[in-house]
Structure 1
Amino acid sequence: MLLDATASGVFSIAATPFLPDGALDRASIDSLTDFYLDCGVAGLTILGIMGEAQKLEPEEALAVSRQIIARASVPVIVGVSAPGFTAMRSLACGVMELGAAGVMIAPPPHLRTDEQILTYYAQAVEVIGDDIPFVIQDYPLTLSVQMTPKVLREIVMAHPSCVMLKHEDWPGLEKISTLRAFQKEGTLRPLSILTGNGGLFLDFEMERGADGAMTGYAFPDMLVETVKLMQAGERDKAHDLFDAHLPLIRYEQQQGIGLAARKYVLKKRGAIAYDAQRKPGAQLSNTARAEIDYLLSRVACRDPRASL
């Protein structure tokens, strides 16, 4: 199931479950994988920023990948971003041998010029091999690297193994429109565009030409339904469903505690046993938990899946 430019739907960014002492929670890795599959996702993306990949030892990263890939019945993309290319190549080759569909590569924060960005991706492809499909992670809010539509086009056109863009610019609607316009004029080959930012702008991102979402909102089943409604032309129904969840999506987008909030909801939904993060990690106060519970009760008025 190698990744290609026709990918669409919802690829959930998976959390990495931990026990309270910080060890990997292997039982919850299975239950979380099953949860995503039951939600109807088209794929999974693991070892991303939400997956706390930077806190894992190389052996743990492979172990998590092995367990999820073996259990999942959908394509699995693995984040392989690393400070150095040696570690990137090792993980990329390792997960592809395990059956991954492709890898995701984020630009390191020190890149500032277009030339530096283009050189970095050229070198990354040279190191991991041009036979491994890869996703560009465009997340300037966290990575502080600004990639213009023209730079993204140049990367895609220079490297046939680039098949997807994880679009997390903000504001980013015009970037999607520009990339799709490039395709209409014939200057950009087919490219899957899945969007992030917790799904915060998914409703209009779909209208601008996105193929779906690649994000970690704790109700991936809602995202799946929203995408399907949009693809079916049911605009008002899609917006009505999405709007019901928007306050909770917004709450999850808070810097610092967003992952803690998301894991708290995933625990309440039975997907994981503990909402623990590996240190360093934020913890929710009792007040924050009460706020999330209140938001869930509000969402449940229109979507019974939030009745927890």
Structure 2
Amino acid sequence: MTTLTKNSSGVFPIAPTPFHPDGRVDVASIDKLIDAYLAAGATGVTVLGILGEAPKLEPDESLDIVQRFTKGFGSLPVVVGVSAPGFAAMRLLTRKAMDAGAAGVMIAPLPSLRTDDQIIGYYHQAIEAIGTDIPFVIQDYPLTLSVQMAPKVIRQIVQAQPSCVMLKHEDWPGLEKISTLRAYEAEGSMRRVSILTGNGGLFLDFEMERGADGAMTGYAFPEMLADVVRLQMEGERDAAHDLFDAHLPLLRYEQQQGVGLAVRKYVLAKRGIIACDAQRKPGSALSEKARQEVDYVLKRVSRVDPRASFRSA
């Protein structure tokens, strides 16, 4: 079984959960999604995250999704989102996911947490509940979760919890946070953890230069993310930025609050990676005007990156 480590790097796409129009999980599309991620150069994957509509799933459905991804990704790591209002549910899903072959779990703070002590205490209790033998990821996503984690708080969690091996960094603006955390490591006041970034990849070009190890996000062209990460690691700065800039119109459009998942599923469906763009209720849907706008943006992106062209579809 692959284990998540402090040196994990590359691109871990956040997988959406494909549904049929009637709300059933589309297992055939899950298999196609796995194939597409592997072809794109993914070095791991994350399932049952916010993008995966995890709260809308039945426990058996969640476990089946984990099993399909762990089987499909083979020796590559699968991270499972286990965030829950209570620790009993978190512990149960964690143990079942790890038994199914997951490499680690991702834990987001409860939105009600406000003080530094509350945040640090929450992670202490969460790790106490799931077990100190489980590698875990801190999800730092204040834009959605409304929990502000200062670098010193992340440092305290990392130092207090040896099983913490990764930070999913989604603060915005967050470039200085990455620099501060890497400076802590350089001075020896914080041990190393992997830093993968989210926010749809909207700042990936510069996040890599600040010390990120890659991306953990759901942008509909994971191969672009993989290329940018690879080019930055190879020192091809201009090439990385040129490719990233070509995708900026779609990255920006995806970042709209409330419709981001709808945009991503629409594009994935156009690419033939999932059968349809349905969300399980309650969910949002793109208007016809919005679909036309996304099509226009894709056409503009395809002028530089032909992978965004659907003329032959």
Same fold per superposition (TM over 0.5): yes
User: Who is 1:226 aligned against?
Assistant: 228
Q: Secondary structure at the match of 2:12?
A: strand
**Counterparts of 1:75 and 1:50, CA distance in 2:** 18
Deviations 1:166-194 (A, max 9, x none): 00000000000000000110001011000
User: Who is 1:287 aligned against?
Assistant: 289
Q: Secondary structure at the match of 2:85?
A: coil
State the superposition RMSD in angstroms: 0.5
User: Who is 1:149 aligned against?
Assistant: 151
Deviations 1:169-228 (A, max 9, x none): 000000000000001100010110000000000001001100000000000000000000
**Counterparts of 2:154 and 2:24, CA distance in 1:** 38
User: Who is 1:188 aligned against?
Assistant: 190
Residue identity opposite 1:157 in structure 2: Q
Residue identity opposite 1:296 in structure 2: L
User: Who is 1:5 aligned against?
Assistant: 6
Report the Cα offset of residue 45 of structure 1: 0.2
Q: Secondary structure at the match of 1:13?
A: coil
Unaligned runs of 5+ in 2: none
Report the Cα offset of residue 69 of structure 1: 1.0
Matches within 5 A, 1:68-217: 68-73=69-74, 74-217=76-219
Q: Secondary structure at the match of 2:274?
A: coil
**Counterparts of 1:71 and 1:238, CA distance in 2:** 29
Unaligned runs of 5+ in 1: none
**Counterparts of 1:88 and 1:55, CA distance in 2:** 15
Deviations 1:38-79 (A, max 9, x none): 111010000000000011111111111111111113210000
Residue identity opposite 1:131 in structure 2: D
Report the Cα offset of residue 115 of structure 1: 0.6
Matches within 5 A, 1:262-301: 262-301=264-303
**Counterparts of 1:67 and 1:226, CA distance in 2:** 28
**TM-score normalized by the length of structure 2:** 0.98
Deviations 1:101-140 (A, max 9, x none): 0000000100000110011000011100000000000000
**TM-score normalized by the length of structure 1:** 0.99
**Counterparts of 1:251 and 1:42, CA distance in 2:** 26
Residue identity opposite 2:70 in structure 1: I
**Counterparts of 1:22 and 1:68, CA distance in 2:** 20
1:29 correspondence with 2:30: yes
**Counterparts of 1:220 and 1:267, CA distance in 2:** 14
- Number of residue equivalences: 308
Percentage of matched positions with identical amino acids: 69
Q: Secondary structure at the match of 1:12?
A: coil
Residue identity opposite 2:78 in structure 1: V
Q: Secondary structure at the match of 1:205?
A: helix
1:248 correspondence with 2:253: no
